[in-house]
Homo-oligomer: A and B are copies of this chain.
Amino acid sequence: MDAESARRAAKRPPAGPRGETNYVRVANRLREEIIGGILKPGEWLRMSAVAARCGVSVQPVREALQQLEGEGLIEIFPNRGARVRGIDRQRLIHAHQIGEALEGYLAKQFAEEASLSDIRKLEALQKAHDEALDGEDWPGIEAANDAFHRFINAHGGNMEAIAIIVRFYGLSHSLQDWYGRAPRYIERVRREHHDLLDAFLRRDPDAAAAIGSRHVRGTLEDILSVIDEADSKPSTG
């Protein structure tokens, strides 16, 4: 007896115990697995396999996949199948250009509109980042870095812009384990965060925009150099 039959025989708790439907649950699960790197870029998603894994029929899976394609996470080839969208060099560059434009804009907006107490809160977040850096606490570094940028970006309340940025970070998230530990990268991030804070305290929107943009551009350059290095000597495990 397979998992599905067992589930169906087990009375009737399968369909949404709460307000959740199956296709939403499947979409959430696949989204997490893609962003978390469990499902690798380029990997094919066979619908019947996903359906079996989630204990549902194929149709809710199809709907989840359609949603994820709309979000840009996978690509569906009609009558062929679906696979996790790869991140080639071009797409990485484009994503970071978008991030450059948006994070520059949002940093400028923060410089114009943030209160002094907002800036103090941001300083506290950066203090946590500095401490994680000093302790070489890698998960802590990533969390503190995310918190720092999220505080700036979310300040104006533009949820749509944040969604775009989050999606773009999600893209390169699976790469962070590679490039994220280079000492030069780490120290550039620390310095630029402090430069940003200075610009905010000086109330200098143009400087904040320039630093915010350059911050993202620097990340792209670091990633590309790590990729190129790995390409030239693929022996390194």
Residue ranges of A at the interface with B (Cβ–Cβ < 8 Å): 16, 19-21, 23-24, 59, 62-64, 66-72, 78-79, 90-91, 94-95, 97-98, 100-102, 104-106, 109, 156-161, 164
Contacts and interface: CB of A to CB of B under 8 A. Distances in A.
A139 to B, nearest CB: 29
8 contacts: A59-B59, A66-B66, A67-B67, A70-B71, A94-B161, A97-B158, A98-B102, A164-B164
A101 to B, nearest CB: 4
A106 B101 CA distance: 9
Given A97-B109, A98-B102, 9 more contacts: A66-B67, A71-B71, A91-B160, A94-B160, A97-B158, A98-B158, A98-B164, A101-B101, A101-B106
Contacts of A79: 19, 21
Given A21-B79, A68-B70, A79-B21, A98 B160 contact: yes
Return the 6 tightest CB-CB contacts between A and B, nearest first. A70-B70, A101-B105, A66-B66, A66-B67, A67-B70, A70-B71
Contacts of A97: 105, 109, 156, 158, 161
Given A20-B78, A78-B19, A101-B105, A159 B94 contact: yes
Contacts of A102: 98, 101-102
Number of copies: 2
A75 to B, nearest CB: 12
Contact of A62 (B63, B100, B160): B63
A24 B70 CA distance: 12
Most buried by B among A16, A102, A156: A102
Contacts of A156: 97
A24 B78 contact: yes
Most buried by B among A21, A24, A78, A100: A78
A108 to B, nearest CB: 9
Contacts of A94: 158-161
A64 B23 CA distance: 14
A110 to B, nearest CB: 13
Contacts of A158: 94, 97-98
A179 to B, nearest CB: 21
Contacts of A70: 66-72
